[in-house]
Amino acid sequence: MPETLLIIEDEHLLGTELARHFRRATWDVVWAKTYKEARRQLFDLELDPLVVLSDINLPDGNGLDLLDEVRQHGGLGEWVLLTGYGEVPDSVRAIRLGAFDFLTKPCEQDHLDLVISGAARGARAQRRLHDESKNRARRYMPESFTGRSASTRNVRELLTKLTQVPFSTLTITGETGTGKGLAARIVHHGGPRAEEPLIEINCAALPHELLESELFGHEAGAFTGARGRRRGLLEQAHGGTIFLDEIGEMPVDLQAKLLKVIEDRSLRRLGGDREIQVNVQVLAATNQNIEEQIRNGDFRADLYHRLSVFKLELPPLRERISDIRDLVPLFVAEYNAIAGKKVTGIPDAVWQQLETHNWPGNVRELRNVVERCVLFAIDHRFPIEWLQLGSVVSAADVAGGTAVEAGRLCLPLDGSMGFDDMVGRIIEVMLMQHGGNVAETSRVLKTTREKVRYRIEKYNIKVSE
């Protein structure tokens, strides 16, 4: 499909030659001879050219003024400007307005072809980014937090309000799998910072030293192995949003540095000697009881209050069971598209099991169940045999003499299982119950992530996400 090139040129001979040349090069050429005609094409007829090749000095106007007006209306496309005089103020203004190039007449055709080709590549990339941004905005709307329950409607209403105000910080709480990441993306992509970056980091996934370097960046030689300068994630998120997942796992000394960044809107890289200004919107998520952490000295009260300008609490799926009727068809359609399946019929027996299950893993667990069932479906029917929502009893349980049922783990006391085997089995089952989430497992067992990871390695436990 030919791409549109708008030529704005009042010289008849040059305009005719340019139009003929670029039509032969498979461009869909539109030629405007005056400022008024070009403006009519761009605004009245809503022409959306990939590239504009424009003279600056037109009989009834200035090409730079037209470029300025197009940019103010959010117009895309690259502009290549031609002039017979090559004045410095014009070239400076062209650059400031985002023109791709500024050429002086007469311009050799081969050189002009290279410039137009480069402008076309830049414009295509620009359009791809614009389309991706619009698709993200459509995907992450408040309506994306799906459900018909009263609690879900309340969450949607608050998300809608948050996208309409330029707030600085937000704390999102809720159990694992309730959709904290989705809520953060809705807030960013629906808000005034949607065109700026969204940087996400899981504070529980990195050790202390690496987390500090990732967040604040470092200068060359700041520590062993720091061979060059690196911009931290807070700096990369300048103008946009940073999403700090599992904020409760952040070490206390780093919490103090984060508080300073939020308060002063500036940071200093590791090993650096100057302050760098940053303007970021901070979203923090946790599934832990922050108030209890504050009492235990594991979380700074001043940071918690600074992060909680707004608070959003996401309800667990067991408290909004009616939402399952809305969520399941969405997940079925998603995995139908991925796997090329045509699952459409969901028997009443399936709905009954789905709506009576406790869902300890919340929406994430529901998504995983639907994925398994759709992928293993052999026809249009949703296979009830792959729900597997009953007791968690595996072949290893039977062979080892242990069983998990009704929220309890039964261990043999006849001497057939040693102490280490019991500890390993407890951790293995808890990891299974919490989808392989080490942080959540350590929280439930009231221990540290390091101790859980140590025993995972010691007992060679296979962790499945």
318-386 CATH: 1.10.8.60
Q: Which range among 16-30, 351-365, 451-465 shows the weakest confidence by mean pLDDT?
A: 451-465
Q: How confident is the model at residue 398 (pLDDT cuts 50, 70, 90)?
A: very low
Contact present, 29 and 75 (Cβ < 8 Å): no
Residues of CATH 3.40.50.2300 domain(s) within the chain? 4-136
Residue 103 CA to residue 86 CA, distance in Å, equals 8
Which tokens go with 30?
């539109």
Sole residue written with tokens 């980091």: 201
**Residue 83: C-alpha distances to residues 37, 50, 55, 449 (Å):** 19, 21, 6, 66
Q: Which range among 49-53, 211-215, 435-439 shows the weakest confidence by mean pLDDT?
A: 435-439
Contact present, 237 and 188 (Cβ < 8 Å): no
Burial 169-180 (b: 16+ CB within 10 A, else e): bbbbbbbbbbbb
- According to the model, what pLDDT value does residue 448 have? 85
Which tokens go with 297?
């000295």
Residues of CATH 3.40.50.300 domain(s) within the chain? 144-315
Residues of CATH 1.10.8.60 domain(s) within the chain? 318-386
Contact present, 246 and 134 (Cβ < 8 Å): no
Domain 144-315, CATH homologous superfamily name and number: P-loop containing nucleotide triphosphate hydrolases (3.40.50.300)
- According to the model, what pLDDT value does residue 403 have? 53
Residue 309 has φ and ψ, to the nearest 5°, of -55, -45
Q: How confident is the model at residue 32 (pLDDT cuts 50, 70, 90)?
A: very high
Residue 153 CA to residue 325 CA, distance in Å, equals 15
Contacts of 80 (CB under 8 A, 6+ apart): 51, 52, 53, 54, 99, 100, 101, 102, 103, 115, 116, 119
Q: How confident is the model at residue 78 (pLDDT cuts 50, 70, 90)?
A: very high
CB half-sphere exposure, 289, CA atoms < 13 A = 7
Per-residue model confidence as pLDDT tens digits over 407-419: 567 776 655 566 7
Pick from 378, 366, 200, 171: nearest CA to 288: 171
In whole angstroms, what separates CA 266 from the centre of its chain? 24
The answer, as to whether pTM is greater than 0.85, is no
Instruction: Write down the architecture of domain 4-136 according to CATH.
Output: 3-Layer(aba) Sandwich (3.40)
